[in-house]
Structure 1
Amino acid sequence: MTFSPASLAQSWPAPSNPRPVVTFGAGSIVGDAHYPAYRKSGVQIAGLYDPDHAKAEKLAAAWGVKSFASVAEAAAVENAIFDLATPPDRHAEVLAALPDGAAALIQKPMGADLAGATEILKICRQKKLIAAVNFQLRFAPMMLALKDAIAKGWLGEVVDFDAWLALDTPWHLWEFLLKAPRVEIALHSIHYLDLIRQLLGDPRGVHAKTLGHPNHSVAQTRTSAILDYGERLRCNLSINHDHKFGRKYQACEFRVCGTEGAAYLKLGVNLDYPKGEPDILEIFPKGGDGWVNVPLKGTWFPDGFVGRMANLQRFVAGEDSELVSSVEDAWNTMALVEAAYQSSADPATPLAERP
């Protein structure tokens, strides 16, 4: 059978009758990704709340939506999907204010640490919330296509996964994280760890080192990590957000190799964020004789957010049988993040002393 790029899935089915969305938080990610995605897909934006009322009013005016005066007023909107674009240490209090049985999409990470994730999980269980975490990279067109290619056997058995990033990331765009104790893994590479979990399953463990940089005070911006999948599969991440030497040798790419084929991906949004560059997916398929470009029907931003919200909307309506990245599953991603930080804090294996 000949490999056909057009046969790979790249989008999530749209909900038949989407509910309106109420957003908590008015940070840059809302205007850069959430609202463009919702407008593109026809989802009504009912309004937003942020304790910084001036910031909330400015964003609301830009999008022509209501700015709520309080958490309680925002949470009182009937039949809404509640979109938490809040800092991780604020998720729990907002979830606690939602009506029992409500549907919520929680910005990653799921709390500031694993203890926070556990608190969120307990709140969601107690209030019977239909809650998912916004791991929208799973829904990016290139990642849906990659997942489909692996499922259809075009790579054979996946035996190597490499993530290589050398970027100049504008951390100043997110004021809340400039003094946060956990940054790189918890707020950036968590996307890659979550995607890897979806594609390859849960690893046995992780070896990691994450650190900052002498030129600034952000807690961590560089990470090396090896995920342990046993003796057949190698998984490695090399992340450097301080490659401030021009575009020429910057990179944001994955290489996924199987026993019979391979895939190359460029995650364009991280290059010159938030403007970004085009995403790329190329596949060397089983039985093929060269690399085949997969024409992409969208990008991570905003199309990954379109699919993420579509799945939650459809699950609430009974149109999807699985809630992708539910809080139950997302807790396992947080456990992997926690293990990476623990590994980074633990001493390395010392070298033997010369006799």
Structure 2
Amino acid sequence: MQVSPSPDLEYLPRLPQDKSIGIGCIGSGFIMADCHLVAYRNAGFNPVAIASRNRANSQAVADRHGIKTVYNTYQELLHDPKVEIVDIAVPPQLLLGIVKDAIKHAGRIKGILAQKPLGINFAEAQEIVRLCEEAGIALGVNQNMRYDQSIRACKDILDKGYLGKPVFASIDMRAIPHWMPWQKELGWATLRTMSIHHLDTFRFLFGDPQRVYASVAEDPRNAATFAHEDGIALYILEYENGFRASAWDDVWTGPAREGAESDIYIKWRVEGTEGIAKGNIGWPDYPLPVPSTLDFTTTQHAGWQRPRWKEVWFPDAFAGPMAQLMCAIEEDREPEISGKDNLKTMALVEACYRSFREHRAVAIDEILTGHNVPSIHH
């Protein structure tokens, strides 16, 4: 196959024609204040109101981003006639209750963008999807790594056939997240907060795997004060066509907070029959704006192609999940990152938990159908 790789790749989200639809923001933490609203402002979207558990925080965020209306409670915000999309960025254990209140205003409220993870487990995610479907509200999920510029461009390379048939892909994360209080309350470390990005990205790039094998270990830095199972998570995805993907999600990364030099990064790699693509994700350097990178080479062209962009994952990629929801409402279709599609990502996360607890590979259909799927031995 003759192809002509070009650095002019499709890496930005498609934007709606009408950007004036009113967005009501629930939550005033870092993700809303420093990511969602910065990206929305740059994209020309229209946040019209905000509410959170802390009125003072809401007011400060509203003043910073030029939002005219601040409510004491999210319930008051849901009654605002200007609000047609609800953007929810709260701890996951609060999500279902807010969705139940939001669907009471179906008709005027046309869409909900929910932060990932979609609830505290797969069953709760199913309930959220069911409620929105029955209410006729478009549900999108903020799986924003799909809109990291390097990941988006990699998808374009794959779709154009530059790499041939995918053979193997990997993500290697050595990064120390900022642990949120709600994570400690829930006993969550890596799988539902960091790995969920990588699992969803594998699905975005390559489709749905058949099964996953996961192994985990504690993060020794937080073991004494933060009860968790999945500090360091390793997992392998098996696909029916023979393709394999794996990730090493290491939030320990050595004693980088205890006096040693740090070696922080997120790297990804895709190998195909006709080419290789590899990149770095710039997020660990936040707040320094370091764009993610992509390099690729093919059998048809000598040398490495190295397209570069000025946009960064945090905050620029956060325009994408809202844009795809707005486009879906505008065009009366399912969102690209719909709640229904995201159930497969939630099932994949759940399968990782079952895998490491039962020390076996787990078929994703076990979670989706609720029935054990026997392993196939050749």
TM-score under structure 1 length normalisation: 0.91
Greater mean deviation of Cα atoms: 85-94 or 11-20? 11-20
Offset, 1:291: 1.6
**Aligned match of 1:352:** none
Percent identity reads 28
**C-alpha distance 77-312 of structure 1, shift in aligned 2 (>3 A):** same
| Aligned-partner SS, 1:331 | helix
One-letter amino acid of the counterpart of residue 8, structure 2: S
**Aligned match of 1:82:** 86
**Aligned match of 1:108:** 116
One-letter amino acid of the counterpart of residue 201, structure 2: L
**Partners of 1:321 and 1:68 in 2: how far apart?**
31
**Aligned match of 2:242:** 232
Correspondence 1:73 to 2:85: no
Offset, 1:327: 0.6
For the 8 Å contact 2:138–2:334, the answer to whether it is kept is no
**Aligned match of 1:3:** 4
Offset, 1:159: 0.6
For the 8 Å contact 1:103–1:316, the answer to whether it is kept is yes
Match of 1:339 among 348, 351, 363: 351
**Aligned match of 2:207:** 201
Offset, 1:84: 0.5
**Partners of 2:160 and 2:360 in 1: how far apart?**
40
Structure 2 unpaired stretches of 5+: 362-378
**C-alpha distance 195-348 of structure 1, shift in aligned 2 (>3 A):** closer
Correspondence 1:176 to 2:176: no
| Aligned-partner SS, 1:289 | strand
| Aligned-partner SS, 2:236 | strand
Offset, 1:276: 5.0
Greater mean deviation of Cα atoms: 272-281 or 18-27? 272-281
**Aligned match of 2:375:** none
**Partners of 1:48 and 1:26 in 2: how far apart?**
8
Offset, 1:341: 0.6
**Partners of 1:132 and 1:60 in 2: how far apart?**
24
**Aligned match of 2:368:** none
Offset, 1:231: 6.3
One-letter amino acid of the counterpart of residue 252, structure 1: I
For the 8 Å contact 1:114–1:338, the answer to whether it is kept is yes
| Aligned-partner SS, 2:59 | helix
| Aligned-partner SS, 1:178 | helix
**Aligned match of 2:196:** 190
CA offsets 1:115-163 (integer angstroms, 9 cap, x no match): 1111211211222211110011112222221111001110001111111
For the 8 Å contact 1:281–1:296, the answer to whether it is kept is no
The 5 A counterparts of 1:288-327 are: 288-318=301-331, 321-327=333-339
| Aligned-partner SS, 1:296 | coil
Offset, 1:56: 2.1
For the 8 Å contact 2:171–2:247, the answer to whether it is kept is yes
Offset, 1:93: 1.1
**Aligned match of 1:51:** 53
For the 8 Å contact 2:291–2:313, the answer to whether it is kept is no
Offset, 1:192: 1.0
Offset, 1:298: 1.5
Aligned structure 1 segments of 4 or more residues deviating by more than 4 angstroms: none
For the 8 Å contact 2:291–2:310, the answer to whether it is kept is no
For the 8 Å contact 1:210–1:341, the answer to whether it is kept is no
**Aligned match of 2:276:** 262
**Partners of 2:136 and 2:307 in 1: how far apart?**
41
CA offsets 1:53-93 (integer angstroms, 9 cap, x no match): 23222322332323212222211233521101011111111
**Partners of 2:273 and 2:146 in 1: how far apart?**
23
**Aligned match of 2:370:** none
**Partners of 1:40 and 1:303 in 2: how far apart?**
8
One-letter amino acid of the counterpart of residue 138, structure 2: I
**C-alpha distance 295-322 of structure 1, shift in aligned 2 (>3 A):** farther
Offset, 1:247: 6.3
For the 8 Å contact 1:121–1:328, the answer to whether it is kept is yes
**Partners of 1:103 and 1:210 in 2: how far apart?**
37
Match of 1:160 among 159, 168, 172: 168
CA offsets 1:239-295 (integer angstroms, 9 cap, x no match): 1111243666322010110011011111111x2334353211111124122221012
Q: CA RMSD in A?
A: 2.0
For the 8 Å contact 1:10–1:296, the answer to whether it is kept is no
Correspondence 1:118 to 2:126: yes
**Partners of 1:345 and 1:184 in 2: how far apart?**
15
Offset, 1:205: 0.9
Match of 2:29 among 18, 27, 30: 27
Offset, 1:107: 0.2
**Aligned match of 2:340:** 328
**Partners of 1:347 and 1:77 in 2: how far apart?**
50
